Amino acid sequence: MSAIADRKEPALRAAFPVLWHNGLIAAGTWLLAAAVTFFLPDIVPYGSRGLFAGILAAGAAVLIVLSFLADRLGRIGRGLVHYGPWYIALGIWLAIWELITAKFGWLPKPFFAPPHGLFHVYVTDWERLLICIFYTARLWSIGFFSGIAFGFVLGVALGWSKTFAYWGMPVLKLIGPVPASAWIPATFFLFPTTFQASIFIVALASGIPVAILTASGVNTVNRAYYDVARTLGADGRFLVRRVAVPAALPNVFVGLFMGLYYSFAILVVAEMLGAKYGLGWYLQFQTAYSAYVNVYAALIIMALICSGLVKLLFLVRDRLLSWQKGVVQW
């Protein structure tokens, strides 16, 4: 009888899929947020209220459909179920946010803005924001990748060579605690353009943690690995490329994560050095005119970009260090 029941279970699941209850609850909270946004009057109008409410209602409809399909979507469905409480909390938060800002005015304009006010910025100012994203991406990518490349090479040299570490590590420890923004006066003298100075500031912020942690990783490699490799005929170059660097990669990635956060934190300061566009420039420009809703909108974009890059870096780390699973504690 149990064997017959086991054979019938997949057929029953196909005919009557498991309902994702949190999806239905989340759809209800999103509909609540849409109703609060659309039907309650604003004390101070922000624009795009109806469009934002329509998007929330459409999102609720999608959640309702997914509530009946999540069981059939495999890995995507499992991800939806895992983050179900977050979807519920998001709908509740959007409704409360609308009430305390646009509807009741407890958090007044211009210092605070409702969700549909932020959405209105994306609707009306998307072209300038897109240009700023492009300029920031150019500045950040050049500064970050040049900084981590130099920091990685420097860290390997510091960790491998005792002579180089004797002279270089004290200097690095002296420079490391100094905020990258403190070097701005020197950059005006050292670099012919403000763009090059901005790249240097970002590179310095991202390269120092990579250099320190790479040096630490190379320096703490188990010496038995070197002895085994030398016994098999490895020379110094092989030991660096195939033993020291792979074994130090966990530390290198810790430095990369730190450098990523530091580089984004310094972006606003770096774009103060005469940039014509960029998200940091956009923040300063809008703050000068007390357009705080635009400031919040740009901050959300920066946070999403940074979190996306962190997620990408996690994927790269997991791919490159897959051979160390079971050895390195994740």
Q: How many helical (H) and strand (E) elements, i.e. helices and strands, does the chain have?
A: 15, 0
Structure confidence at residue 210 (pLDDT): 94
Contact between 72 and 35 under an 8 Å Cβ cutoff? The reply is: no
pLDDT tens track for 37-52 = 999 999 888 888 999 9
pLDDT tens track for 286-317 = 988 888 999 999 999 999 999 999 999 999 98
Q: DSSP state, 240?
A: I
Around 164, how many Cα atoms within 13 Å sit in the side-chain half-sphere?
11
pTM of the model: 0.83
Whether the pLDDT of residue 218 is over 80: the answer is yes
Structure confidence at residue 17 (pLDDT): 61
- Structure tokens of 296? 């919040």
d(CA 104, CA 95): 12
Contact between 286 and 292 under an 8 Å Cβ cutoff? The reply is: yes
Output phi, psi for 178, to 5 deg: -75, 125
Cis peptide before 10 (omega within 30 of 0): no
Sign of the Cα pseudo-torsion (159, 164, 166, 172, in order): negative
Which stretch of 14-23, 118-127, 205-214 has the lowest confidence by average pLDDT?
Answer: 14-23
Burial of residue 142 (CB within 10 Å: 0-12, 13-18, 19+) is middle
Q: Count CB atoms within 10 A of the CB of residue 244.
A: 22
Structure confidence at residue 330 (pLDDT): 45
71's CB contacts (< 8 A; 6+ apart) are 13, 17, 18, 19, 20, 77
d(CA 315, CA 305): 15
Contact between 44 and 98 under an 8 Å Cβ cutoff? The reply is: no
Q: Give which of 188, 196, 202 is closest to 143, Cα–Cα.
A: 202
Q: DSSP state, 172?
A: H
pLDDT tens track for 234-279 = 777 787 788 888 888 889 999 999 999 999 888 888 887 767 788 8
pLDDT tens track for 139-165 = 999 999 999 999 999 999 998 888 888
Burial letters 37-66, b for 16+ CB under 10 A, else e:
bbeeebeeebebbeebbebbbebbeebbeb
Distances (CA, A) of 226 to 8, 153, 156, 158, 169: 59, 20, 15, 17, 23
